[in-house]
Amino acid sequence: MTTDDDNADGCISDNYYGHERGGTLDSVGVKTPTELVEFYFPYAGIFFRAAKYMKNVVCVFVRRGDVVMRCKKVLAGALAIAACFFGGAAYAAAPEEQIDVILNLPVTHGDELEMRLSENGDFAVTDLDGNGRIELLFLQEMRNGVPEDVDIENENVRSAWRHIASVPVSRKLCGYEISANGNKLEPLAVIFADDEINPNLRYLQSATRDTQRGIIYYNVSTLTRVGDAGYRVSLQSVSLQNGALQIQTIASEFGNYGIYHEQGTPEAVFGHAMTRHGTELSQSAYAEFFSKFSAGYGAGADEHFNAAIRWCPVQALREAKLQPSGMKPLMLESWQGFSLERLK
């Protein structure tokens, strides 16, 4: 089994795999803390206007000498309540400052994060849950080689097997998030609702938001090699909730790769598909299901987005660590490539 990078020369986003985007887009992109509150919590303004009104009412009923002190206490209380409701999003430091926190932590120079930097794979800087506190994600892919008994005399056969060998047999996803007080990194838990298949966050199909619950869901298509020439496509929903990556497999397709002497690329031959409830799907029913999934399937979702994550090689981060400019420019490049674009 080997572990390697898909692109060791620079950062890539999920459309590195040729995923086309469409529709009229309203770019959300990188936001200031104030914009984050307005975007992710549309009714935040009502709360703050109420807090301002509370301050004025208290000022009327206190003695003259207590006005300033009482007003400050009421306003501070309102801000504390807002921080609880909004997860600290309105008061998180700027992403550049949060990256400085990561780079200045002792853990960067000899602990768990250092171990991540010693591995192959890619990293990304994101804000998946939109709480204003950035995450540092690591994704590693494991692959098997070409079976030893393969007919290597035919060039097309050799080429087809090289394509099959490029499909990962498994992945390892882990991550960290800036803490609520902004002074350390906290590891993210990874919770699987069903099959323990780490999602391919390189290839985001779409994103949706359940505004009632305040949760953003990312629809992901994860291709995995099974055995020598089998494959599985897992349609997954990924969200970050309260410091945990929640992963649920919505449906799965199983099949095998056909290898032919007349062509140098393998052909994916559909076998069967099923939903997470065990309901079998015909090839046509699965194709329809996949289309809806790609367009933004999500129970309770009332807003739809295109999403992008910019992944950069960990090897490049190791090399940057030795340069005078350090790792910050590369981490900023990844952060600037993370975006949510609302579909109108």
What is the pLDDT confidence band of residue 83, given thresholds at 50, 70 and 90? very low
What percentage of the chain reaches a pLDDT higher than 70?
A: 70
Q: What element of type H or E holds 95?
A: helix 95-104
SS3 240: strand
Residues 137 and 177: their CA atoms lie apart, in Å, by 9
Rounded Cα distance, 163 and 264, in Å: 9
Cα separation, 298 vs 301, in Å, equals 5
pLDDT for residue 105: 79
* Number of other residues whose CB lies within 10 A of the CB of residue 10: 11
Report how far residue 23's alpha carbon sits from residue 21's, in angstroms, rounded to the nearest whole number.
7
> Mean pLDDT throughout 288-313?
85
More confident residue, 251 or 81: 251
Helix H or strand E segment including 268? strand 267-275
C-alpha distances in angstroms, 193 versus 238, 247, 249, 274?
10, 6, 8, 16
Predicted confidence band of residue 297 (pLDDT cuts 50, 70, 90): low
Counting residues of the chain whose pLDDT is more than 90, the rounded percentage is 51
Strands 280-281, 267-275: pairing is antiparallel
Which residue shows structure tokens 């000022």? 59
Between residues 132 and 11, the one the model is more confident about: 132
| Mean pLDDT on 213-234 | 95
Average pLDDT over all residues of the chain: 78
| 153: confidence class by pLDDT, cuts 50, 70, 90 | confident
Is the pLDDT score of 205 beyond 70?
A: yes
Rounded mean pLDDT of 216-243?
Answer: 96
pLDDT value, residue 342: 87
What is the average per-residue pLDDT within 28-42?
A: 43
Using CB atoms within 10 Å of the CB of residue 104, give its burial: 0 to 12 exposed, 13 to 18 middle, 19+ buried: exposed
| Rounded Cα–Cα distance for residues 230 and 243 (Å) | 35
Give the number of C-alpha atoms closer than 13 A to the C-alpha of residue 279, restricted to the C-beta side. Answer: 8
Average pLDDT over every residue of 55-69 = 35
pLDDT of residue 331: 96
Kindly give the pairing relationship between strand 135-143 and strand 280-281.
unpaired
Neighbours of 324 (CB within 10 A): 4
Q: Which of 265, 283, 266 is nearest to 274 (CA)?
A: 283
State the pLDDT at residue 74: 38
Per-residue pLDDT, 242: 94
Quick one: three-class SS letters along 129-183? CCCCCCEEEEEEEEECCCCCCCCCCCHHHHHHHHHHHCCCCEEEEEEEEECCCCC
Give the per-residue pLDDT at 44. Answer: 45
Predicted confidence (pLDDT) at residue 224 exceeds the cutoff of 70: yes
Split at pLDDT 50, 70, 90, the class of 299 is low
Average of per-residue pLDDT across 95-115:
77
What is the arithmetic mean of pLDDT over 263-271? 95
Which of 58, 211, 198 lies closest to 141, judged by CA? Answer: 198
Residue 239 pLDDT greater than 60, yes or no:
yes
Residue 234, pLDDT > 80, answer yes
Q: Please choose, from the candidates 284, 258, 280, the residue with its C-alpha nearest in 3D space to the C-alpha of residue 269.
A: 258
User: For position 258, what pLDDT does the model report?
Assistant: 96
**Domain boundary assignment for the chain:** 2-31+94-343, 44-85
pLDDT at 211: 87
Looking at residues 142-166, what average pLDDT do you find?
89
pLDDT value at residue 80: 40
